[in-house]
Amino acid sequence: MEPGNQTSVSDFWLLGFSQDSGHQPILFGLFLSMFVVIMLGNLLIILAVSSDPHLHTPMYFFLSNLSFVDICFTSTTIPKMLVNIQAHSKAITYAGCITQIYFFLVFGGMDTFLLTVMAYDRFVAICHPLHYPVIMNPRLCGQLVLVSWFISFTYSLIQSLLMLRLSFCTNWAISHFYCELAQALTLACSDTLINHIVLYTVTGLLGIIPFSGILFSYIQIASSILRIPSADGKYKAFSTCGSHLSVVSLFYGTGLGVYLSSNASSWSGMIASVMYTVVTPMLNPFIYSLRNRDMKRALQKVLGRTFCVQ
């Protein structure tokens, strides 16, 4: 095929882990196992929250949304990677690549916004406990989630439409296991200045503003906890946000590992991406269930009913 506009592009090639053909069966088994754990773990969280009236609170409402987003986030990349490994193929169609970029940005953005909203929820619960039921009312919780979805869909749509205007060269190889936007832009023959401006400006804002909100919330939370006179009171206050703080640390720690990696297409860069896109969604259910007595009780009820039905 000759170089031209996007209509001449049939497939992109996802090199990623397929470059090491000797370890394909091991990689397939590893990622399939992690995908199953992600699906089951997050589905159990959603079922536990929806079935237990004691968990019908803002914190668990946001947690169930986070579990749903994590399911969708990993479903955007892992199934295609597994198919390619099993079929010994590296191809993804042009339409499939654009679609993957779109949904990856949607759900990745939602992860960021939900963690920020959950930090605000913990801030209100600890710093303004008497006003918590009034401030975090169901209407506000719903509005926060809807606004997060709207921003994520809008930003992803803009990026996808900007991709559609590009022409591509004869090199359509992406050195990653999914269609990573920044790498896809390097394959374009046409001017990508607008794409890069939108990518780095909006992505920077969507990263800095939520992170600043989380940081502000936890500074206020720490200040309030330190003013509690008893050690037992401090422990109880911290335990209410310990799980969320662990998830935030894991999410942003692995995310920074991706973007601070010297070469995103290297093995180290791809390992950082796996931590960010696969390992973090897999660990979230364990973090919230193991550190939360109410969640463990709800999960036991769900599992008990499941085994009774069987």
Which CATH class for the 11-292 domain?
mainly alpha
Residue 121 confidence (pLDDT) above 90: yes
Q: At 266, is the pLDDT very low, low, confident or very high (cuts 50, 70, 90)?
A: low
Higher pLDDT, 69 or 176: 69
- Using a pLDDT cut of 70, give the percent of the chain over it: 87
Instruction: Report the amino acid identity of residue 34.
Output: M
> Is pLDDT larger for residue 249 or for residue 8?
249
Contacting residues for 275 by C-beta, under 8 A, at least 6 apart? 254, 257
Judged against a pLDDT cut of 50, whether residue 122 lies above it is answered with: yes
- Mean of all residue pLDDT scores within the chain: 83
pLDDT of 55 above 90: no
- How would residue 137 be classed by pLDDT, with cut points 50, 70 and 90? very high
215-261 tens-digit pLDDT: 999 999 888 888 878 777 777 777 777 778 888 888 887 776 666 55
* Per-residue pLDDT reduced to its tens digit, 177-223: 888 888 888 888 888 888 888 888 887 888 889 989 999 999 998 88
pLDDT value at residue 4: 41
pLDDT interval class at 90 (50, 70, 90)? confident
CA nearest to 48, candidates 67, 69, 72, 71: 67
| Residue 1 confidence (pLDDT) | 37
- Candidates 65, 73, 70; CA nearest to 118 is 65
pLDDT tens digits, residue range 273-282? 788 888 889 9
What is the residue extent of each domain of the chain?
A: 11-292
Please tell me the predicted confidence (pLDDT) of residue 87. 81
Per-residue confidence (pLDDT) for residue 309, from 0 to 100? 46
Query: What integer pLDDT is reported at residue 99 of this predicted model?
Result: 93
- Which tops the pLDDT comparison, 19 or 62? 62
- The band of 6, judged by pLDDT with boundaries at 50, 70 and 90, is very low
Give the H or E element holding residue 122. Answer: helix 94-127
Residues in the chain, overall count: 310
Instruction: Please tell me the predicted confidence (pLDDT) of residue 260.
Output: 58
70 or 21, which is more confident: 70
Give the DSSP per-residue string, 28-60: HHHHHHHHHHHHHHHHHHHHHHHH-GGG-SHHH
pLDDT single digits (tens) 182-191: 888 888 888 8
